[in-house]
Structure formats: structure tokens, C-alpha cells
Amino acid sequence: MRRLCLLISILAVMQAQALSRAQSICAPGGCGLPASAIEANRWPNVRPLPIDEALLYDRDYRQIEAAFTMHSAPDSADSQSFGAGYTFVTVQETSGEWTRIGDDQWVRSDILSETITPSRFAGAMLPAAGELPYTVAWTLWHLRGSKTPGGPEAADNPFLYRYTRVYIYASVQVGGYNWYQIGPDQWAHQFKVARILPIEKPAAVDTHKWVSVDLYEQVAIAYEGSQPVFATLVSSGLEEWPTNPGLFHVYVRFPRTLMSGAYAQPDFYYLQEVPWTMYFDDQIALHGAYWHDGFGFRRSHGCVNLTITDAHWLFQWSQSEYDYQNNDLVGPAVYVYSSGEYD
């Protein structure tokens, strides 16, 4: 009991010290913009992509969590065994206790999860140059802003859902980290938002349409020339399977494709019908991910995951970059970089 009391006391002191630091940073006139200045530009002037229900739910996606056997037909002895891994499949038809997940591919129905619901997050179309008065960001967590930089979340501040689009009106550093003003008396730690940070077109980019991937912010931006036209959250490779920085070109693309790797290893994965896939760095691709809703955080095996909505938009948008009549199948440039460093 004494240890618990001591821990509570220590936490209270730390919180008080953080609040004191924030107050001293902002004294005497306060930090950031006043509510009167914010009101004129309360919400970002961007247009989110519309959700196409038919596109989003045109497949019955399922997960297989344990080891499984795939048969060429129900009850067939002709089979192939797979170990437990990160396995997602699409249901084609069901016959009794069996489900077909592909041509001559059947599994027992009882190993399948319930239907997976893809993420409904969508990126946003950006306006012409000069029409965004402040940096735009998405909240990465459900949150209520802190009253001051470095302070605790305020119960009387408006509740913001994850993926809310916000402006960043000001920035203050507390304890080596940035705190961003996202509303009147609303501040959020830099780890709780992902910013859209357009960059100048690198000299080596040789296509009109190109894509930047900011590994630090986990944000991809589509450009036409020097003008950013679209931005969205992504999920790039984890530390052990990083997405490589550098300049690349999309060299092949598929509306749907199988992705599988690390067979018989702990990180084995088997993903059927990965949508709107554009390979740009060997086996690393921009593609839709129907199996998670963790956009804004690293979580892939190296690829750049997008929602189905966003991946489809990029796939269609980049179509004009290919010159099929002259057999030029080199796609848009993809510039991967990091605007910051992970702790």
C-alpha cells in the first residue's frame, strides 16, 4: 500500500512539473492563437475521398489464425499444409463444411473468422497552392486536447475521434517534444498527430505524377509536377522489415495479387487478393490493405499499406503516367524519405 501511495505521489509530482514547465513556457501571454483567430479557419480546407461501398465490400475477407490445410476439392487428399501465420483469404463459395478461397483451393469453413470489415478511412484531395493557411494533420488517437502544451488532457475539451482532420496553428517544445495547437486551448503531443508536409520536387524525379512517402509522419502525398494534389495516411515497414528510403519507379502493377513470404518462419504471411498493388522497390509495393485499420503507424513487412479507397485512387490516378502505345510501362516516381527520426 505504501508503494502504491509513493507511486501515485511520484506521478502527481511529475504531472505537476510538466504542467509547470508548460505554464512557464507560455507565460505570461499564453501560447498559440486565440480562439478569435482560429474561428476563421477552424477546419482544414481539404476534401476527403468519397467512400465507394461497392468497392469497399466487393469481397468477403476472412482470417485464418492457426495452421491450416488447403485442398484441391472438398475432402480431397490432394492438399497443401501451411503453418500458423498472418493469413487472410477471400471467400468464393461455401459448400457444406467447406469453403472455396480460390481456384481449386478449399479449406474447412470452421477455421475461418467472421467477415473482416476494411477500414473506412480515406485520404483527402488538396486545394491549390496557397489555399491552406496552416499545416494539416490527422489525429492518430481518440483524444481531448490539453489546455496547455505538456499538460494533461482536459475533460471539458471537445472529444476528437481518431482520423479527425485538424489544422496545426502553433508549435511549442516541451521536454524535447513538439506540442501542436489543434484548436482553441487544445494541444496535442507530436506522437498523437500525423502532419501533411509537402516537399519540393526532387531534381531526380522524372515523371509528372509522383508520390512521396514520409516514413516519419507515415503520410503519402501525390503530386502533379510541383503541386501536391492528394495526401493520406499509410503504414510502412516495421523496424525489422523497413521500407527503404530512396527514389524508385512503379515497375509493375496488379488490380489484385497474392502476397506471401517467410514460409515456415515465425513471420509467415499469406494474403490473398491484395488490392490495387503497385510494386516500386523489388518486392515492396504501394497497395491496399483490407486486414487492418492501423494507418498512421508502421506495421507492414516493408510495403506501404493504404486503405482500399486510397490505393484505388492512386492506382487510377497514376494510369496516365504509362505510355502503353510506346510500350513504356515505367510508372510514377516514388520518393521515400523521412522528415524526422524515431526515438
pLDDT tens readout for residues 275-299: 999 999 999 999 999 999 999 999 9
Query: At which residue does the C-alpha cell 524515431 appear?
Result: 342
- Asked if 152 and 144 touch (Cβ cutoff 8 Å), the reply is no
Q: What is the pLDDT of residue 266?
A: 82
Contacts of 305 (CB under 8 A, 6+ apart): 234, 235, 236, 287, 288, 289, 292, 295, 299
Q: In angstroms, rounded to a whole number, what is the distance separating the alpha carbons of residues 69 and 174?
A: 54
Q: Mean pLDDT of successive 10-residue segments in the chain (343 residues)? A: 43 46 58 94 97 97 96 93 94 96 96 97 96 97 97 97 98 97 97 98 97 98 98 97 97 96 85 97 98 97 98 97 76 97 86
| pTM for this predicted structure | 0.91
Q: In angstroms, rounded to a whole number, what is the distance separating the alpha carbons of residues 291 and 288?
A: 9
